[in-house]
Amino acid sequence: MNETRKIAAILVADVVGYSRLAGSDEDRILARLRALRSDLIDPTIAVYNGRVVKRTGDGSLIEFRSVVDAVRCAIEVQSAMIERNAGVPEDRRIEFRIGIHLGDVVEESDGDLMGDGVNIAARLEGIAKPGSICLSEDAYRQVKARLDFPSTDLGATQLKNIAEPIRVYSLQVGVDPRATPAMPAEVRASAPLAVPDKPSIAVLAFNNMSGDAEQEYFSDGISEDIITDLSRLSELHVIARNSSFVYKKGAVSVPEVARALGVRYVLEGSVRKAGNRVRVTAQLIDSSSGGHVWASRFDRDLTDIFAVQDELTQEIVAALKLKLTIGDREQLARARAVNVEAYELFLRGRERAYVHTRIGNTEGRKLATAAIALDPGYVAAHALVAFTHVLDYVNAWSDDPEHSLQVGLELAEQAVRMDEDQPNGHFALGVACMWARALDRAWTEVQRGLALSPNSVELLMAKAHVQIFSGDPAAALETLDVSMRLDPLYPEILLQFLADARFSLGEYAQTIAAIKQRLARNPQSETAYALLASCYGHLGQPKESEQAWKRALEINPDFSVERRRRVLPFRNPEDFERRVEGLRKAGLTF
C-alpha cells in the first residue's frame, strides 16, 4: 500500500449528544443533518478548499490546505448554527463541537488519513464545548493574529492516548441566543423617539405556532410582507423589519416597544401552519391607551395565504382610518403570486440572503431560482437573484465578478420589465446600475422604487449610496436621517454610509466617530479600517493610520486599493483619490 507523509490542517467535528437526539426521533435528526450538510456544511467546506476525508455517522474528518482556511470554515459553520438554532428547543438543537490541529499525517492510497495529526484533532474535538472550536497550540499560532473572536487558553492539557500534554485554545463563536435579554441592550440605552404627526406603526415578528422551529421563516415572511405592504402607503410611517424584529421572542410590553421605536400603534400576531391549512391571528394595539384597536383571526387553506395578507392589510388601513390616495389604493390592489411552494422557497431564500455572507448569498440565490422554476413570473424572486449576483461583484465572491455584475444588471432589467410596479425590481436595478457606474439611471430607478414604497429603508439606503457616489454627500446625510427614523436600530452598514458621506465632506473626526461605532458592532470590516487609516492620515496621525491599515490587511490580505479604485463608482475620481491621499500622508505603502 502506497503511503505519503505530509503536514496538514485537520478538522474533526461531530454532533453534540447525537445518540440522545437520534433516540428521540432518529429519522428527523438524520433528515436535518443531511439538509445541513447539503445546504451549509459541504458548500462552506468547498469555499475554503477543504476535502472531506471520511464521515462516520455524525462525525466528519476534513483536510484543509491551511489552518486559516480550516478555522474560517469552522467559524462560518458555527456562526450559521447559532442563527439556525435560535428558537429551537434545547433538546432538539443540532450543535457541533470542532477540533483543529496542524500536524503530521499519513495519507494512504485511497485518500484516507492516519497518524498523530488526526488523533490529536479528534481528541481536541472531544473536549470542545457545544458550539465551540478547540485548537492545538500549533494551529492557534497560525491564526491568532487574525482572530476577533474571544479565545480561552486552556493551558497544557493531557489528551486521551496522546503521550505529551498539548496546549489548547478554545474559541467560542457568537453569543448563545438563550442569553439574549428580553429588551435588547441597544433599545434600553436609547432615548424614546418622538411619535410622528402622521399615523405610525411597528409590525412585530409574528409568533411561529406551528410546533416546528424550522417553520420560522414562514411566520417571519408573512410579518415582513405585511411591513412591505404597509410601507407602500405614503400616509403611514412604518418601522423597518430590522428594528421591529429585534423584539422577536422578547418578553417586552407594547408601550415599551412603541416608546423605543417612536410609534403609536403596534401590530402583533401569530401563524400556525399545519399541512395545507394556515391560521393567522393579529391584533392592533394603540400604545397611548394600551387598548385593542382591532383584532382578527383567519383560518384558510394554505393557498389562500396571499388573500389573508391582503385582507389583513386592508383591515389595518380601515382601523387606522387612513385616507388613501388613488396611488395607495392601486398599490394595495396589486395581485400576488399564487404558487405557495414558490412563495415558501422565496421566503427561505430571502432569509438566507439576509445573512450577507458568501454562503448565505449562494444559498439565497439557489432557493430563489428554485422558486422561479415553479413560478416563472415571480418578480420578487427574479429581483432577489439579480441582487445576489450584484453582491458577488461588490464582494468579489465569484470567480468572475465583472460577469456577475453584468448578469445581475440583465436580470434586474428583466424583473422591472416583468412588472414596473414592483419596488423590489427597481431596487435591484438601481443598485446594479450604481455599481455599473450608470449613476443617473440608478437615481431614476431608486426614485421610482421610492414612489411605489415611500417607507422602504432599503431604497432609502440605496438612494443615499447613489448620492455619495454622485458627489452629493450632504444630501446623502439627509436621506440617511430619514432612513434612521424609519429604522431606529439600523444595520451597521448604515454607519459605513454615514462615514463615507462625512469623509467626502472632509469631516474626518466625524468620520472616525461613525467608523468606530461600526467597528464596535462589526470588528471584521476591512473597508471600515481602510477608511479609518485614511482619516488618520489626513489628521496627521501616522501611527494610528498604520495600525488601522495593518488591521484591514489582517482581515483581508487580498484587500486592494487598485480594485477599490476600479470598483467604487464615484462620478468624480477626486472623491476616491482623497482616500488614497490620506494613506500616502501617513507614509503607507499599498
Closest listed residue to residue 267, CA positions, set 188, 311, 205:
205
The span from the CA of 297 to the CA of 112, in Å, is 58
pLDDT for the residue 182: 42
Q: What are the distances in angstroms from CA 350 to CA 361, 366, 381?
A: 9, 11, 9
Q: What pLDDT is stored for residue 191 in this prediction?
A: 55
Contact 14, 58 (CB under 8 A): yes
In this structure, what C-alpha cell is assigned to residue 230? 404597509
CA distance 556 to 396: 12
Query: Which residues in the chain land under pLDDT 50?
Result: 175-189
b/e sequence 101-135, b meaning 16+ C-beta within 10 Å: bbbebebeeeeebebebbbbbbbbbebbebbbbbb
The burial class, CB within 10 Å (0-12 / 13-18 / 19+), for 179 is exposed
Q: Residue 416: what pLDDT?
A: 97
Q: Reduced to 3 states, what is the DSSP secondary structure of residue 179?
A: helix
User: Domains of the chain, with CATH numbers?
Assistant: 3-173 (3.30.70.1230), 182-332 (3.40.50.10610), 338-453 (1.25.40.10), 478-590 (1.25.40.10)
Burial of 185 (0-12, 13-18, 19+ CB in 10 A): exposed
pLDDT in tens, 35-89: 888 888 998 898 888 999 999 878 899 999 889 889 989 998 988 888 787 767 7
pLDDT at 337: 56
Q: State in Å, rounded, how far the first CA of the chain is from the last one.
A: 50
Q: What is the spatial distance between Cα 281 and Cα 537, in angstroms, rounded to a whole number?
A: 57
pLDDT tens-digit map of 472-482: 999 999 999 99
Q: Distance (Å, rounded) from C-alpha 166 to C-alpha 156?
A: 5
d(CA 136, CA 119): 12
pLDDT of residue 188: 43
Give pTM, 2 decimals.
0.67
pLDDT at 329: 72
Would you state the pLDDT for residue 211?
Answer: 66
Distance CA 208, CA 221 (A): 11
User: pLDDT at position 45, please?
Assistant: 92
CA distance 292 to 286: 6
Q: Is 131 helix (H, G, I), strand (E, B) or coil?
A: coil
Cα–Cα distance measured from residue 252 to residue 51, given in angstroms and rounded to the nearest whole number = 46
Q: Which residues lie closer than 8 Å to 185 by C-beta, 6 or more apart?
A: none
**Which residue do the cell numbers 439579480 mark?**
386
